[in-house]
């Protein structure tokens, strides 16, 4: 199956030429060039490669999550790091690695929407580039102009052209040095000229070294196949319908499978009915409690009862469990045990506290969550490059 991949820093336009490469079904380059959309060669599949200047990749460390929860957790961890209104940004996430890390790709929503109509997949140029050596950063030149830097955790940010040390890279190095997380060196995946070498020599404290040059179209079939598709969520392509194959052997297999399923259902139907009856009894009891408390309407009984209980305590001049101060007092012993300066900010809204924390090692983070759970609190935590964010609410039954 032939695949046409086009490097884009904006939506295709009739008057603008963009770099394209045609690959065969084995991933080999068949043809490449630069032209307007009408001049692109025909192919069975088309993929857009978003230039590094159009995307940002953030490396996140999340607790073990099911695949359907990773996107929501990544969005929560990034909510205060997005440039511009959140509804103008689209976030796509990679699969979670064994160590809990994911790569979150942030792109302009309107650009992704325009490309989704014309391309089978949308990839990020910087996600195709190999990761640097441990404790190093790698600086690449983009074929669309400018450059970008990748970090060992998969994070990436765009820079200016590599004809001199760009301000974005200089600021990132200075910030990392102040935070004590500076790289051991910066690898340059291009050949620097004399002007750039002279400029780099003035940036004391950072070792710059050259490594193998890289171009997006030479990434290799494995890199393209493994790259995260930005077409996720609302822009995901519907899965193709499965071709039906009807044969005598498959019919017998289907019959045997149906019999096995029928036996299993028959054997467990009694237990299912029992569980349903128990659930009905519990809901009925909760409904009776809610009615005794004067709750009416279609509200969920447990939540409505907790709300009525909180209102009654407020009328009596007393605090409710989900109020700011009682909730904070239950979390305070665990927070007080953290090293000085770990708690950066605390925000209360809708019966929950959100704490922004400095970076914690895995042991300290586990102890904090266990202490909060021991105080009857439920937590939702996610890490980001600047530390961690934790949301704390009353646990089940605390109301």
Q: What is the pLDDT of residues 265-313, one digit of tens each?
A: 777 887 777 777 777 777 777 666 666 666 665 566 666 667 777 777 8
Selected residue with higher pLDDT from 270 and 257: 257
Check residue 146 and give its pLDDT: 93
Q: 230 and 352 share a domain?
A: no
CATH assignment at residue 30: 3.30.420.380
Check residue 121 and give its pLDDT: 96
* Range scoring the smallest mean pLDDT among 36-40, 77-81, 160-164: 77-81
Q: 223 and 192 share a domain?
A: no
Q: 11 and 107 share a domain?
A: yes
Q: 225 and 85 share a domain?
A: yes
Check residue 247 and give its pLDDT: 55
Q: Is residue 399 one of the residues assigned to a domain? A: no
Beta-carbon contacts of 339 under 8 Å, excluding residues fewer than 6 positions away, are: 364
Tens digit of each residue's pLDDT (9 = 90 or more) over 60-72: 888 888 888 888 8
CA distance 63 to 355: 17
pLDDT of 335 higher than 70: yes
Where residue 167 falls among pLDDT bands split at 50, 70, 90? very high
Q: How many separate domains does the chain show?
A: 4
Average pLDDT over residues 321-349: 90
Check residue 299 and give its pLDDT: 62
Nearest CA-CA partner of 321 in 377, 380, 370: 377
Q: 118 and 232 share a domain?
A: yes
Provide the residue range defining the domain that includes 379. 324-394
Q: 1 and 74 share a domain?
A: yes
Q: 125 and 34 share a domain?
A: yes
CA distance 323 to 309: 12
Number of neighbouring beta carbons within 10 Å of residue 46: 18
Work out the percent of the chain whose per-residue pLDDT is above 90: 47
Q: Is residue 361 one of the residues assigned to a domain? A: yes
Check residue 100 and give its pLDDT: 84
Query: Exposed (0-12), middle (13-18) or buried (19+): which is 225, by Cβ within 10 Å?
Result: exposed
| DSSP secondary structure code for residue 100 in this structure | S
Q: 112 and 81 share a domain?
A: yes
Check residue 364 and give its pLDDT: 86
Check residue 242 and give its pLDDT: 45
Which residue is it, tokens 């040390």?
A: 165
Beta-carbon contacts of 266 under 8 Å, excluding residues fewer than 6 positions away, are: none
Q: 91 and 186 share a domain?
A: no
DSSP symbols for 199-259: HHHTSTT--EEE-----GGGS-HHHHHHSPPS--GGGPPPPPPPPP---HHHHHHHHHHHH
Q: What is the pTM of this model?
A: 0.61
Average pLDDT over residues 326-347: 90
CATH assignment at residue 384: 3.30.1360
pLDDT of 326 higher than 70: yes
Where residue 243 falls among pLDDT bands split at 50, 70, 90? very low
Q: 105 and 228 share a domain?
A: yes
Q: 299 and 355 share a domain?
A: no
Q: Is residue 144 one of the residues assigned to a domain? A: yes
Q: 79 and 98 share a domain?
A: yes
Q: What is the mean pLDDT of the chain?
A: 86
Check residue 292 and give its pLDDT: 67
């Amino acid at each position: 199956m032939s695949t046409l991949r086009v490097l884009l820093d904006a939506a295709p336009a009739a008057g603008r030429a963009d770099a394209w490469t045609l690959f065969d079904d084995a991933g080999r380059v068949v043809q490449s060039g630069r032209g307007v959309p009408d001049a692109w060669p025909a192919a069975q599949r088309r993929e857009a490669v978003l230039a590094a200047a159009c995307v940002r990749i953030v490396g996140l460390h999340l607790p073990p999550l099911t695949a359907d929860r990773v996107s929501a957790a990544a969005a929560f961890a990034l909510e205060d790091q997005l440039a511009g209104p959140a509804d103008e940004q689209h976030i796509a996430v990679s699969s979670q690695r064994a160590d809990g890390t994911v790569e979150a790709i942030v792109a302009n929503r309107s650009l992704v929407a325009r490309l989704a109509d014309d391309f089978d997949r949308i990839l990020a140029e910087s996600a195709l580039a190999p990761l640097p050596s441990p404790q190093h950063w790698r600086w690449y030149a983009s074929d669309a102009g400018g450059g970008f830097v990748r970090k060992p955790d998969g994070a990436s940010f765009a820079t200016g052209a590599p004809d001199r040390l760009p301000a974005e890279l200089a600021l990132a190095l200075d910030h990392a040095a102040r935070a004590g997380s500076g790289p051991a060196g910066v690898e340059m995946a291009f050949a620097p000229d004399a002007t750039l070498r002279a400029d780099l020599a003035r940036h004391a404290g950072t070792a710059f070294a050259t490594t193998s040059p890289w171009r997006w179209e030479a990434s290799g079939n494995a890199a393209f196949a493994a790259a995260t598709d930005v077409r996720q969520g609302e822009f995901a392509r519907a899965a193709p319908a499965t071709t039906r194959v009807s044969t005598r052997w498959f019919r017998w297999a289907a019959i045997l499978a149906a019999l096995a399923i029928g036996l299993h259902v028959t054997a467990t139907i009694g237990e299912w009915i029992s569980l349903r009856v128990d659930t009905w009894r519990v809901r009925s009891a909760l409904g009776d409690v809610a009615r005794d408390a004067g709750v009416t309407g279609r509200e969920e009984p447990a939540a409505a009862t907790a709300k009525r209980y909180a209102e009654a305590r407020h009328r009596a001049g007393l605090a409710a469990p989900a109020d700011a101060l009682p909730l904070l007092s239950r979390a305070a012993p665990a927070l007080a045990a953290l090293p000085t300066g770990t708690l950066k900010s605390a925000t209360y809204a809708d019966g929950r506290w959100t704490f922004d924390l400095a970076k914690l090692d895995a042991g300290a983070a586990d102890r904090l969550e266990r202490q909060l759970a021991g105080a009857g609190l439920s937590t939702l935590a996610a890490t980001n490059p600047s530390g961690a964010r934790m949301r704390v609410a009353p646990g089940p039954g605390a109301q």
